[in-house]
Chain A
Amino acid sequence: MTGLLLVEQALNGAQFGLMLFLLAAGLTIVFGVMDMINLAHGSLYMVGAFLAAWITMQTGSFWVGLAGSVLLTAAIGMLIEATLLRTLYARDHLSQVLATFALILILNDGIKMLFGTDLPLSAPAALEGPVELPGGLRYPLWRLLIIGVGLAVAVGLYLLVQKTRVGALVRAGAANREMSMAMGVNVARLFTLVFGLGAALCAVAGALLGPLLAVQVGMGENILILAFVVIVIGGIGSIRGALIGSLLVGAVDTLGRTLLQSALREALPPQWASAAGPALASVAVYVLMAAVLVWRPQGLFPVRGG
């Protein structure tokens, strides 16, 4: 593997990981603060992508689409939280799994009824080309943008959680919910806000990834599971854990894929090597998750104090 190839794959891994972080950050806070398994988190990502695509189609501007999608998805998230999810906090995890699974079904078909099964979404034309990096690598500008946005969000969340009052309340809630309530925190309002923030992050990811992937019904299901992997590895409730976890998963998945493929290609016919490489890299990710669950269930950056 040449140096340039390694650099390009590392960038790809960072891009993938940072987008995963946008989803994982919201998911980990909801799970940590509200102790709720939300399987419909991936569906919010889908809603965000569809709204971005539709608004971009109507207004002709990607940025308006992005902004509109973030606001609308956050609103939708808060609405779902205030009506349905609120009733689930007190329930057992199984009820949460089932109810949010039902929500996935409803949102998938709901989006299909409103927008059809898929919508086109293109990045602004000026940003579609490559950028010349030091070393001679011509890397797509849009992917660099994604990396940039991901890092900016990470910094922003860090500042929010560590330096603001709201952030302190979130940290307290994640560490010990009963104590926070006993201290008089307006838990209901905090939860709604937190959920809205998570939904907004999903929308950003959906809008940015839309031009690279495809905006289609059901796009949330696969990325949702990876987000769960990330927060388990990183530590439920920890945003820092979500960041490290996402970058780790991104690296293992992207680099693992190419390394395994080239290794297997020595021994197997190309069709088999190409199938086995990525699949085994994914298996490795889940083995990592299982290992964490067995030996260090609180994750790499435990949050729960008492």
Chain B
Amino acid sequence: MTVFARSFSKRIAAAAVLALAAAAAGAADKVKVGFVSTLSGPSSALGVDIRDGFQLAVKLNGGKLGGLPAEVLVNDDQFKPDVARGLFERLVKRDKVDFMTGVVFSNIMLAALPEAIDNKVIYISPNAAPSSIAGKDCNPRFFAVSWPNDAYHEAAGAFANQRDLKSVYLLAPNYQAGKDSLAGFKRTFKGQVIGENYTKLGQLDYAAELAEIRAAKPQALYIFLPGGMGINFIKQFVGAGLGKDMMLLLPGFSADQDVIGPVGQAMAGLFNTAHWSPDLPNAANQKFVAEFQKEYKRMPTLYASQGYDAAQLINAAVRDVKGKLDDQEAVRKALRAARFDSVRGPFKFNKNQYPIQNYYVRNVGSDGKGGLVNKSFSEPILKDHGDAYVQACNMPQ
């Protein structure tokens, strides 16, 4: 061969190798998401709503996330941390998912999270966002697309101040999120806390606690009891005749559609705080609420809005890295940028990958059709609010 021909064929070979390398190293052919949540038991409505919100977003994106066909592997953790752990291990090691998401409860999430992050898989939390990993133990593979655990309760404390409440009794389940909730309320509340009690997570009979609350005679009672716990508590609270003795103040977790349905009219007029409300006026939310009602024939809860936003966040990130999921650093940067239209309005991540956002006061009122729905006050009670732990986080930015 001539010299020219040899160098030419070398260049062709080099180009071919580069092209193959680019094809192999870059774009994946689909996005695999492992979804583990509480889909059975008294608090299943929460997991079911997160799942339905997530899957609705995928459907509205044409079954794709970031332009790639999406495969969402849905599993039930049965409200058991060890079951969740096993599911995470299976999804990460055997099914080799690209993202993990879904868990409702902080204790379950904290038990299972190491299986994801120790195996280099990013976890996007559509609910649990405990304070224990918001500060010095923050992790670059953990993203909270919901809120910091303390936030709703800090908002409620601020609202209690606005209402000039002097004495409050506090009640929450005895797990990380319960601890975070009452710590959050106490952080902002300026009145007197005359009682602080923790119940067993999953407890359903509150006779003993209600007797103590009755004896303490507070001006107001603030509880954090999500899911089936809240439903049972509020029913028993009303059944014990305590509604006449004190004001009941709630975080959005105990006053959304999943509680309103089973409890009924007793919920009318109750104040609660949240980062989202079905009547928020932005375009993304109006579309979400309409589509959710059309698809599932019920009003979405804040849990559904979080599942929906989680999928939209992943969608935006995958789109921004053009499907090259192998470069995890790029995926992380794209997630942090959060270039998507959240149904809650303005959204951005803090240094610790927990949200900075507004929180609103909501009131349970008539929906005009004989039912009840949450209506928000337009002026947020907390604006552009982060969390109290971010200063201790030393994550590479």
Q: Which residues of A contact B (CB under 8 A)?
A: 1-2, 4-5, 8-9, 12, 15-16, 116-118, 120, 122, 128-130, 138-143, 211-214, 216-217, 254, 257-258, 261, 270-271, 274-275, 278
Contacts and interface: CB of A to CB of B under 8 A. Distances in A.
A271 B179 contact: yes
B205 A258 contact: no
Residues of B contacting A: mostly: helix
A5 B211 contact: yes
B204 A258 contact: no
Contact of B207 (A15, A214, A216): A15
A275 B198 contact: yes
B346 interface: no
Contacts of A140: 207, 236, 239-241
Given A120-B262, A129-B239, A140-B236, A214 B198 contact: no
A171 to B, nearest CB: 34
B188 interface: no
B240 A274 contact: no
Interface string B123-164: 000000000000000000000000000000000000000000
The 4 closest A-B pairs by CB, nearest first: A130-B241, A274-B198, A138-B241, A117-B40
B328 interface: no
A274 B215 contact: no
B205 A213 contact: yes
Contacts of A1: 215
A169 to B, nearest CB: 37
Contact of A12 (B44, B174, B207): B207
Contact of B198 (A213, A258, A270): A270
B321 to A, nearest CB: 39
Contact of B211 (A9, A118, A128): A9
B208 A118 contact: no
Contacts of B228: 214
10 contacts: A1-B215, A15-B207, A138-B242, A140-B239, A212-B204, A214-B42, A216-B41, A217-B40, A254-B208, A274-B198
B55 interface: no
Given A142-B239, A271-B179, A117 B207 contact: no
